[in-house]
Amino acid sequence: MSRSGRDPGERLKTGKGRTQSSVRWLSRQINDPYVKQAKAEGWRSRAAFKLSELDEKFGLLRGAQRVVDLGIAPGGWSQVVRKKAPQARVVGIDLLPTEPIDGVTIFEMDFMADEAPAALEGALDGPPDLVLSDMAANTVGHKQTDHLRTMGLVETAVDFAVNTLAPGGAFVAKVFAGGTDTELLQILKKNFRTVKHAKPPASRKDSSEWYVIAQGFKGRAEPKAAEGADDNGDDS
């Protein structure tokens, strides 16, 4: 096998009706060493290596007890969680159908739906200590529009994390070239002790995807009691 991971003489058989973009995608898949390794090792997608590499660098799964996988399909990230943190309760959600994974509760529903957050929390029986998001909006071919659509998903994921995470918890989300928007970055820095961007080796070099890693959730501020709430009305 060549250093690129391509078998000598391997060629892509194309058929009539395929667009040039689909031909390029198929060719890239066939000759991608991460895709081949994923198949050989039983991972559902090459994305499994991205989470493994992020975990090696940031220790995301060390001691994890409750994990939420947003955009779980086809399930590669949850597979990694189950292998590296077998003690953790894992719940995932995606609009796309996902084959069952042992030890993982899966909801086939829209994360943007009003009832989604409660469903995820209820399945964990406690606050998560890690929220993962590999969600990305379906592309329409317009770079700015695609970026805005995906960042809308990231914003919703951040809101979910800030409202559910246990103190000390972590949040990981896919973003794109340019990193996290300024306003969103400020929210993360306000709520987490460290916020960094990383591009794992398994992420294709020609891809604009990056990941934001926020660790050390500071916890939610307790609501202040209304003034005079402790006054029982007895002036004596």
Residues annotated as catalytic (active site), given as ranges: 174
Question: What does DSSP say about strands 130-133 and 104-108: parallel, antiparallel, or unpaired?
Answer: unpaired
209-217 and 170-176 as β-strands: parallel, antiparallel, unpaired? antiparallel
Cα–chain-centroid distance for residue 102?
19
C-alpha closest to that of 70 among 121, 144, 126: 121
Residue 106's φ and ψ, nearest 5 degrees, are -120, 130
CA–CA–CA angle 180, 158, 112 (5° rounding): 115
Dihedral through CA 19, CA 21, CA 25, CA 26, nearest 10? 20
d(CA 75, CA 55): 17
Whether 158 contacts 152, CB under 8 Å: no
User: 147-178: buried (b, 16+ CB within 10 Å) or exposed (e) per residue?
Assistant: beebbebbbbbbebbbebbeeebbbbbbbbee
